[in-house]
């Protein structure tokens, strides 16, 4: 057992000795480094380590929480005492408490959370990679005049959790990333685009050359963008934009929001919301998933939870507290850092791929919009109203015709789900929320 795992258990034991009925320690240790470059020179180089522990204690139904990054033994003793004192001073809540011991059993270890190659990357890898991203991007077109940002980085972490319910768990993880935000200029117009790739394993990461080329190509193709007239037309979301749409579904599938009837999904469990070809899943056990882990922020086993399965609304997401409140089963979706209390979150949220290529989705549109970037937050989870600023390319007879900007795409979340009439086969995981391309039968595009 590592020293941090022992420390987590020791803090829990001290909390019991100081009068806590139950206690839980959540400890994180991390090491990260990143580099950004500009015009072939290092702009910023960052290396940092971090560690901290959060402690939840319960005294007669009262919750106390404290966190610290000071691991000096005398400071830790006072830290535990402070958490217990806070619990004694707080208001009681019959729903307070740790997850039941029986629910903590059955944890599985997802494959590929840790890559030794990332953990031992040469010091100059990030610099070489970032410079290659920039070089490749500039080589695409002379109209790439600069980069708002371009860089690379890595992160290595440990998580340890222990509780008075017999919980003792740990895991290690790695991340490596590349990003580029080029600027294209022509005829007094500036256009930007961005490309980012995050992976657990270095071998899975998109090449620096590919990141730079794709980001630059996206910026250049937007030069000459103009508005279009307001109309209702078919709309295709590229994978990046479709992923943000899938992310909007989470707020509506939040079990606490559903319980409070502050969700457009409230009262619709078991109802068909979308065509049979649409399935949205949150999977905490996905191999090499950026959000994968053997347990959630409360030590509950993670799992695969279909939110929408073949078009039917199947599950909402819960942590232990909200599950008690809603008289439902927790889904292993407690998210947290050492400095925060658990709250409902996601692991790897994605829309399962279909069978059509993106080209086939576009060919099915006589006149419409292909959206490549959006502004704004998206859907209102209570009403389902959806409205976002958008940029992209106009579709004419199944082909990309010209770039468009300064438009708004609007609809309603429930109607949008019903109107999905094409799901691409190009699922891309560049973060913990992902989707293939999506085509909607009709959305409102507001322009001139």
Q: Please tell me the class of the 3-220 domain.
A: alpha beta
Confidence of residue 447 (pLDDT cuts 50, 70, 90): confident
Report which of residues 377 and 296 the model is more confident about: 296
- What's the pLDDT tens digit per position in 83-136? 999 999 999 999 999 999 999 998 999 999 999 999 999 989 999 999 999 999
Confidence of residue 428 (pLDDT cuts 50, 70, 90): confident
Is the CB of residue 261 less than 8 Å from the CB of residue 85? no
Is the CB of residue 422 less than 8 Å from the CB of residue 438? yes
Mean pLDDT computed over every residue of the chain: 96
Q: What does the alpha-carbon distance between residue 181 and residue 428 come to, in Å, rounded to a whole number?
A: 19
pLDDT at 311 over 80: yes
pLDDT at 1 over 80: no
Q: What does the alpha-carbon distance between residue 401 and residue 136 come to, in Å, rounded to a whole number?
A: 26
pLDDT above 90 coverage of the chain, percent: 97
pLDDT at 255 over 80: yes
- What's the pLDDT tens digit per position in 353-388? 999 999 999 999 999 999 999 988 778 999 999 999
Residue 221: what pLDDT? 97
Is the CB of residue 298 less than 8 Å from the CB of residue 320? yes
- What's the pLDDT tens digit per position in 6-55? 999 999 999 999 999 999 999 999 999 999 999 999 999 999 999 999 99
Question: Domain map of the chain by residue range?
Answer: 3-220, 225-448
Locate the DSSP E strands across 164-221: 168-186, 189-192, 195-199
pLDDT at 429 over 90: yes
Q: By C-alpha distance, which of 250, 252, 345, 257 is closest to 298?
A: 345
Q: What does the alpha-carbon distance between residue 301 and residue 297 come to, in Å, rounded to a whole number?
A: 10
- What's the pLDDT tens digit per position in 152-191? 999 999 999 999 999 999 999 999 999 999 999 999 999 9
Residue 324: what pLDDT? 97
């Amino acid at each position: 057992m590592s020293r941090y795992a022992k420390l987590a258990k020791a803090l829990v034991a001290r909390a019991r000795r100081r009068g806590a009925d139950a206690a839980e320690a959540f400890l994180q240790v991390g090491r990260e480094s990143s580099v950004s470059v500009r015009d072939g020179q290092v702009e910023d180089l960052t290396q940092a380590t971090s560690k901290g522990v959060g402690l939840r204690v319960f005294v007669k139904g009262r919750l106390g929480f404290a966190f610290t990054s000071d691991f000096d033994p005398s400071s830790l003793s006072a830290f535990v005492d402070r958490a217990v004192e806070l619990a004694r001073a707080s208001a009681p809540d019959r729903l307070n408490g740790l997850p039941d011991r029986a629910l903590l059993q059955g944890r599985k270890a997802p494959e590929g959370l840790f890559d030794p190659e990332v953990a031992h990357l040469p010091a100059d890898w990030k610099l070489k990679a970032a410079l290659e991203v920039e070089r490749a991007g500039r080589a695409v077109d002379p109209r790439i005049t600069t980069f708002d940002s371009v860089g690379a980085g890595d992160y290595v972490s440990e998580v340890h959790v222990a509780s008075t319910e017999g919980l003792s768990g740990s895991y290690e993880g790695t991340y490596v990333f590349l990003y580029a935000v080029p600027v294209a200029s022509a005829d007094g117009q500036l256009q930007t685009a961005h490309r980012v790739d995050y992976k657990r394993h270095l071998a899975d990461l998109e090449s620096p050359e590919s990141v730079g080329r794709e980001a630059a190509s996206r910026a250049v193709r937007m030069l000459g963008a103009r508005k279009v007239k307001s109309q209702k037309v078919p709309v295709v979301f590229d994978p990046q934009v479709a992923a943000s749409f899938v992310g909007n579904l989470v707020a509506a599938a939040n079990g606490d929001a559903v319980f409070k009837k502050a969700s457009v999904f409230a009262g619709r469990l078991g109802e068909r919301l979308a065509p049979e070809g649409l399935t949205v899943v949150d999977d905490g056990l996905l191999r090499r998933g950026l959000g994968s882990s053997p347990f959630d922020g409360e030590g509950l086993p993670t799992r695969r939870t279909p939110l929408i399965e073949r078009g039917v609304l199947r599950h909402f997401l819960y942590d232990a507290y909200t599950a008690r409140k809603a008289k439902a089963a927790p889904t292993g979706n407690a998210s947290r850092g050492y400095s925060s209390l658990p709250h409902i979150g996601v692991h790897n949220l994605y829309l399962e791929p279909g069978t059509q290529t993106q080209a086939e989705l576009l060919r099915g549109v006589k006149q419409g919009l292909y959206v490549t970037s959006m502004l704004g937050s998206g859907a209102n989870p209570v009403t389902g109203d959806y409205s976002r600023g958008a940029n992209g390319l106009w579709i004419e007879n199944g082909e990309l015709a010209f770039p468009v900007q300064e438009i708004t795409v609007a609809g309603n979340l429930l109607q949008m789900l019903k109107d999905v009439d094409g799901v691409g086969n190009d699922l891309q995981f560049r973060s913990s929320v992902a989707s293939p391309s999506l085509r909607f039968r009709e959305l409102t595009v507001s322009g001139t």
